[in-house]
Amino acid sequence: MPNQDNDAISSSLLTYPVSIALLLTACMAAAFTEKTVLAAFFGCIFVMSLCANVWGRFSVHNLTYSLEISSAGVFPGQAVRFTRTLYNQKLLPLIWAEIIEPRALNGCAAPGGPDNQYQNAYKFSLLKWYQKLNFTDEWTASRRGVHLIETVKIRSGDGFGLCVRSQTVALKPARRVFVYPQLVDVSIEKVMRDMWDTRSAAYGYLEDITLLRSVRGYLPSDPAKRINRRLLAGGQGLMVNQYETVTPNTVLFILDAASFNGRDPQHLESTLSIMASLLAGLCNHGIQAGLAAPASAYFPETLMQPSGGKESLLRMLELLAAVGHDNPVSCAPLQIQSPESIGQAFYFAHNLDDSTSLGLLAPFPVHKIRLLFWHMDDSAEKSGFRSCAVQSYRRAI
């Protein structure tokens, strides 16, 4: 059940305790002086004010509120369904109720339809005792971002409209809707070609010591650790093991979001769209992909180890959805498990001069690094790394 706090009352003058006491005094004084009509008038106002005060004060007591979201993540243009339940757990009915939800600060999602695209208040009438009210609406995702709902305000009051009470309901856990970067048409083949070029140059091969392929005679250049000691102990001479070789089929994307600070926001948005599209395409092709993302308002600095599967892809899309436009520098070293098993590391930044986290590439040999810049210049070509424009991975429209 959600926690409830921050009660507040908005009352008219008639429902103030002092006013109610004065009305009672006036009624008694009129009755004492035998002014029957005036006494009846003050008596009616007194009863109405007292009922409004008590009714209003207890209107939002024993109310529970829940919110369910059809999907935690969507792409721009897709719809997400919100299902809300308000339960009046008391004998006192509610003549009216209003539920106020916060808006998405960056406008990443809004209720559908032209007439209520900025609506965040829902009004209802007559919620009976021990009655549940269920209502649903659809919101349309418009741009990348995160819509966070931590608290919801519920307002209600008496049937006369004299005493209004509000209460804040904390949703635990908070509800989040991630609007992923827009997917665009990209060339997965360019990433695959990078990996293939690395392999064809005799780089990137690994030996799986759990898979013994064969044995051969010992040569002076063979390391001692390859000697098959079991055969040696059996009197079959010096023989060395030959293991099966495997080629890495993993990539790691590193986002230097801080290099985009102060630049045209569209540069970052386009870069994130290309990154998201490449990640989705690689995962669909069976390539294990990972992501090193900077800290954001919703996540700490995060390293997703290369892996396959839909869950891993959705998590990386969430990290990209949460990237802001004023990002801290990523300075923590990458705790990569077996850097030699990574086929390629792709470093995304605005340009070489503004790059803030090139040190994160230290675990990788130069031949496994590809720099992707939004803005290419002569310094990028002289950096010593293979580099190209981010936009070159997007297919021409």
Strands in the chain per DSSP E: 3-11, 63-69, 73-74, 79-88, 94-100, 109-111, 121-127, 132-141, 145-157, 163-179, 206-217, 239-246, 250-255, 288-293, 302-307, 344-349, 369-373, 386-389
Picking from 130, 121, 123, 128, the residue whose alpha carbon sits closest to that of residue 156 is 123
Chain-centroid distance, C-alpha 387: 30
pLDDT at 382 (0 to 100)? 66
Kindly tell me the burial class for residue 84, based on how many C-beta atoms sit within 10 Å of its own C-beta (0-12, 13-18, 19 or more).
Answer: middle
Cα Rg for the chain, rounded, in angstroms? 33
pLDDT at 244 (0 to 100)? 59
Dist. CA 141–CA 273, nearest whole Å: 15
Kindly tell me the burial class for residue 154, based on how many C-beta atoms sit within 10 Å of its own C-beta (0-12, 13-18, 19 or more).
Answer: buried
> 90 in helix, strand or coil?
coil
Angle at which helix 36-58 crosses helix 17-32, to 10 degrees, equals 160
Picking from 182, 181, 187, the residue whose alpha carbon sits closest to that of residue 396 is 187
Give residues with Cβ within 8 angstroms of 369, minimum separation 6: 344, 345, 347, 361, 385, 386
Domains contained in the chain, CATH given: 1-46+58-179 (2.60.40.10), 188-200+248-393 (3.40.50), 206-246 (no CATH)
Tokens of 109: 């999602």
- In this structure, are strands 344-349 and 288-293 parallel, antiparallel, or unpaired? unpaired
Dist. CA 347–CA 343, nearest whole Å: 13
Kindly tell me the burial class for residue 219, based on how many C-beta atoms sit within 10 Å of its own C-beta (0-12, 13-18, 19 or more).
Answer: exposed
> Where do we find the tokens 């959705």?
314
Tokens of 189: 């083949």
Q: Kindly report the average pLDDT of the chain as a whole number.
A: 82
pLDDT in tens, 24-34: 787 788 888 87
pLDDT at 333 (0 to 100)? 73
Low-confidence ranges of the chain (pLDDT < 70): 1-16, 104-105, 112-119, 195-211, 244-248, 331, 378-383, 397
Question: Are the CB atoms for 369 and 385 separated by under 8 Å?
Answer: yes
Picking from 283, 317, 316, the residue whose alpha carbon sits closest to that of residue 181 is 317
pLDDT at 40 (0 to 100)? 85
Q: Whats the size of the chain, residue-wise?
A: 397
The amino acid at 328:
P
Question: Are the CB atoms for 4 and 170 separated by under 8 Å?
Answer: yes
Where are the alpha helices (H) located in the chain, listed in sequence order? 17-32, 36-58, 188-200, 229-233, 265-284, 310-321, 378-381
Count of Cβ atoms closer than 10 Å to residue 283 Cβ:
19
Kindly tell me the burial class for residue 115, based on how many C-beta atoms sit within 10 Å of its own C-beta (0-12, 13-18, 19 or more).
Answer: exposed
Question: Are the CB atoms for 121 and 99 separated by under 8 Å?
Answer: yes
Picking from 303, 307, 308, the residue whose alpha carbon sits closest to that of residue 291 is 303
Kindly tell me the burial class for residue 179, based on how many C-beta atoms sit within 10 Å of its own C-beta (0-12, 13-18, 19 or more).
Answer: buried
